Structure 1
Amino acid sequence: MDEERIAAIRALPKVELHLHIEGAAPPGFIRGLAQEKSLRLDGVFAPDGSYAYTDFVHFLQIYEAATSALRSPEDYARLTTAVLEESAANGVIYSECFLSPDFCGGGDLGAWREYLHAIREAADAAERSMGVTLRGIVTCIRHFGPERAKPVALCAAETAGDWIVGFGMGGDENKGRQKDFAYSFDMAREAGLRLTTHAGEWRGPGEVADAVNDLRVERIGHGVRAAEDLALVDRLAEDGVVLEVCPGSNVTLGVYPKLGAHPIDKLRERGVKVTVSTDDPPFFHTSMADEYEALAKTFGWDEEVFDEIARTSVEAAFCDADTKAALLKRLG
Structure 2
Amino acid sequence: MESTTPESTPRPRRDTRPSEPRPGGTGPRETDSRDAGPRDVSTLPKAHLHLHFTGSMRSATLLELADKYGVHLPDALTGGEPPKLRATDERGWFRFQRLYDIARSCLRAPEDIQRLVREAAEEDVRDGSGWLEIQVDPTSYAPHLGGLIPALEIILDAVDAAAAETGLGMRVVVAANRMKHPLDARTLARLAVRYADRGVVGFGLSNDERRGMARDFDRAFAIARHGGLLAAPHGGELTGPSSVRDCLDDLRAARIGHGVRAAEDPRLLHRLAERGVTCEVCPSSNVALGVYEKPEDVPLRTLFEAGVPMALGADDPLLFGSRLAAQYELARLHHGFTDEELAELARQSVRGSAAPADVRQKLLAGVDAWLAG
TM-score normalised by length of structure 2: 0.82
Q: In the alignment, which residue of structure 2 is the partner of 1:119?
A: 155
Segment of structure 1 superposing worse, 316-325 or 139-148 = 316-325
CA contact (8 A) 1:209 1:232 kept: yes
Render the CA deviation track for 1:55-83: whole Å, top value 9, x for unaligned: 32111221012101112333211110121
CA contact (8 A) 1:44 1:65 kept: no
CA contact (8 A) 1:274 1:309 kept: yes
CA contact (8 A) 1:123 1:133 kept: no
CA contact (8 A) 1:200 1:208 kept: yes
Q: In the alignment, which residue of structure 2 is the partner of 1:55?
A: 86
Find 2:324's aligned residue among 273, 284, 288.
288
Q: In the alignment, which residue of structure 1 is the partner of 2:45?
A: 13
Structure 1 residues 216 and 291 mapped into 2: Cα distance closer, same or farther (>3 Å)?
same
TM superposition shift of 1:53: 6.3
CA contact (8 A) 1:157 1:188 kept: yes
Render the CA deviation track for 1:124-151: whole Å, top value 9, x for unaligned: 3333333322110000011223232222
1 CA distance for matches of 2:181 and 2:238? 18
1 CA distance for matches of 2:317 and 2:341? 22
Q: In the alignment, which residue of structure 1 is the partner of 2:315?
A: 279
Q: In the alignment, which residue of structure 1 is the partner of 2:301?
A: 265
Find 1:215's aligned residue among 251, 271, 276.
251
Q: Secondary structure at the match of 1:196?
A: strand
Residue 143, structure 1, aligned to residue 179, structure 2:
yes
Q: Secondary structure at the match of 1:23?
A: helix
Q: In the alignment, which residue of structure 2 is the partner of 1:319?
A: 355
Q: In the alignment, which residue of structure 1 is the partner of 2:265?
A: 229
Q: Which residues of structure 2 form unaligned runs of 5+?
A: 1-32, 88-92
Aligned length in residues? 330
What residue identity is the alignment partner of 1:323?
V
Cα RMSD over matched residues?
2.4
What residue identity is the alignment partner of 1:8?
D
Structure 1 residues 205 and 68 mapped into 2: Cα distance closer, same or farther (>3 Å)?
same
Q: Secondary structure at the match of 1:318?
A: coil
What residue identity is the alignment partner of 2:253?
V
CA contact (8 A) 2:42 2:126 kept: no
What percent identity do the matched residue pairs reach?
A: 37
TM-score normalised by length of structure 1: 0.91
Q: In the alignment, which residue of structure 2 is the partner of 1:99?
A: 136
2 CA distance for matches of 1:230 and 1:23? 32
Structure 1 residues 161 and 50 mapped into 2: Cα distance closer, same or farther (>3 Å)?
farther
TM superposition shift of 1:119: 3.0
CA contact (8 A) 1:22 1:67 kept: yes
Q: Which residues in structure 2 correspond to 1:142-221 (within 5 Å)?
A: 142-161=178-197, 163-221=199-257
Q: In the alignment, which residue of structure 2 is the partner of 1:250?
A: 286
TM superposition shift of 1:107: 12
2 CA distance for matches of 1:294 and 1:44? 23
CA contact (8 A) 1:14 1:92 kept: yes
2 CA distance for matches of 1:144 and 1:312? 32
CA contact (8 A) 1:162 1:319 kept: no
What residue identity is the alignment partner of 2:190?
L
Find 1:83's aligned residue among 120, 142, 149.
120
What residue identity is the alignment partner of 2:127?
N
What residue identity is the alignment partner of 2:102?
A
Residue 37, structure 1, aligned to residue 69, structure 2:
yes
Q: Secondary structure at the match of 1:289?
A: helix
Residue 27, structure 1, aligned to residue 59, structure 2:
yes
Larger radius of gyration, structure 1 or 2?
Answer: 2
2 CA distance for matches of 1:156 and 1:50? 36
2 CA distance for matches of 1:253 and 1:39? 25
2 CA distance for matches of 1:63 and 1:51? 13
TM superposition shift of 1:211: 0.6
Tell which has more relative contact order, 1 or 2 (C-alpha 8 A, sep 6+).
2
Q: Secondary structure at the match of 1:102?
A: helix
Segment of structure 1 superposing worse, 203-212 or 67-76 = 67-76
TM superposition shift of 1:200: 0.4
TM superposition shift of 1:213: 0.2
Provide runs of 4+ in structure 1 moved above 6 Å. Answer: none
2 CA distance for matches of 1:72 and 1:53? 31
1 CA distance for matches of 2:267 and 2:143? 41
